[in-house]
Structure 1
Amino acid sequence: MADGGHYVRDILDQLDELSGRDKISVGDVVEAFGPTAFLPLLLVPALLVTSPLSGIPLFSSLCGITIGLISSQLFIQRQSLWLPGFLWKRTVRGQRLHEGIVKSRSLADWVDRHLGDRLHAFTSAPGRAMAYLACMVAGFAMPFLELVPFSSSLLGLSVVFIVTGLLAVDGLFVLLGYCIIALASMIPVFVFTGLLSA
């Protein structure tokens, strides 16, 4: 890695500091990171939707809506994050959050270990706008793919790669994120084609 940082692991560790509480709301997470920390806040639901927490009914949808809203505000260059009240008040049990974070640490360590300083065109100003738009599409697609196996987790992984690539100025990870979005978009096609031919 270019600067030796631990982007994803540090964010998970900061999130894990909240898991000692009985329940943690989305508002608690925003307050812990700060309402102007858009990229770390975008990374949180993306990581969680790749964890076993995605098995909770509607959890993937809520993470997707959160990803979509944060990305859209990055795209329009809003200075401070706004989320609707129904998201702000949503909670998860501290123990379940901790378990999800533990399961995500191997992914975090792998991403941090492989980050570099590459393909700056994908992390420059025009490239960043495209990345925010891709994250927005991935997030808002999740509620529609709630019942399609693996699709939400793959879309979450794509956002993890894109956001970490932006944080570390590693365009290769942004590009990998785009490739995963393309792969995830094919899953519902195969599922529905299989259902129709059954």
Structure 2
Amino acid sequence: MSSEHDHWIISSLLEDLAGLALSRDRVSVADVVETMGTRGFGPLLMVLSAFLILPVGMVPGMPGVVALFLILIGGRMMTGETTLWIPARLGRVTFSGHLLAVSVARAQRPVLWLRPLVSPRLAVLVDSVVMGRVVALILMVTGAVIFVAGFIPGLPFVLSLHILVLGLALSSRDGLIAMVGYALLLAEILFIRFIFF
């Protein structure tokens, strides 16, 4: 997945995260945010949701960290901000560099599969002020639910799916993919209601 052949923002992000993971034994949350650079919230949302799906999600407390990030990102988006601020204490949370490397390696094949399926289209569904607020609200509510009830086995995984797709939509300015994310959210709500209520 060399950037020589693919300049897609997600491809370059995975390359940078792989480099970070291989450069140190322990990786901090601040390291990951710094590696994201100015790529925007979309790729960060993809990384956060992947943390709940890939091996990094097995780290104790990771769902809570991801939940806090979702709330912070949602709050920043709600006010029209385009950069992320994180508390110093959250930035100091660390996890295994090896675990991150394994997670990045596992993510590369799905990313290569997704690449031809996304393109800028129906951008109003992700770029408009109204839809930006809608996505922000979705992130904050999802983060709150994961933070409060993330101890329920499988719940963080289920709730990470629409975040992953919405992150992909924001990264590629793809409104059609965003519609898939909204549909997934509805399906997740119905699934959770059926299972837990």
TM-score band w.r.t. shorter chain: 0.7 to 0.9
Over aligned residue pairs, what C-alpha RMSD do you find? 2.3
Aligned to 1:122: 125
For the residues of structure 2 that align with 1:151 and 1:184, how far apart are their CA atoms?
10
For the residues of structure 1 that align with 2:158 and 2:110, how far apart are their CA atoms?
13
User: Does 2:142 align with 1:142?
Assistant: no
For the residues of structure 2 that align with 1:55 and 1:190, how far apart are their CA atoms?
26
| 8 Å contact from structure 1 (residues 52, 103) kept in 2 | no
Unaligned 5+ segments in structure 1 are: 194-198
For the residues of structure 1 that align with 2:166 and 2:69, how far apart are their CA atoms?
16
3-state secondary structure, aligned to 2:20? coil
TM-fit CA distance, 1:18 = 0.6
TM-fit CA distance, 1:62 = 1.2
- Matched to 1:131, the amino acid is V
TM-fit CA distance, 1:55 = 2.4
Determine which of 25, 29, 32 is the counterpart of 1:29. 32
- Which deviates the most, 7-16 or 86-95? 7-16
Q: CA, structure 1 residues 75+182, in 2 after alignment: closer, same or farther (shift >3 Å)?
A: same
Unaligned 5+ segments in structure 2 are: 1-5
User: Identity over the aligned pairs, expressed in percent?
Assistant: 24
TM-fit CA distance, 1:117 = 3.5
| 8 Å contact from structure 2 (residues 41, 167) kept in 1 | no
Determine which of 76, 82, 94 is the counterpart of 1:73. 76
TM-fit CA distance, 1:34 = 2.9
Structure 1 segment 5-44 matched on structure 2, within 5 A: 6-20=8-22, 21-34=24-37, 37-44=40-47
The structure 1 segments of at least 4 consecutive aligned residues displaced by more than 4 Å after TM superposition are none
For the residues of structure 1 that align with 2:127 and 2:77, how far apart are their CA atoms?
14
Structure 1 segment 1-198 matched on structure 2, within 5 A: 6-20=8-22, 21-34=24-37, 37-125=40-128, 126-193=130-197
Q: CA, structure 1 residues 183+79, in 2 after alignment: closer, same or farther (shift >3 Å)?
A: closer
The one-character-per-residue Cα deviations of 1:114-150 (angstroms, maximum 9, x if unpaired) are: 1133333312312222222222222232123323343
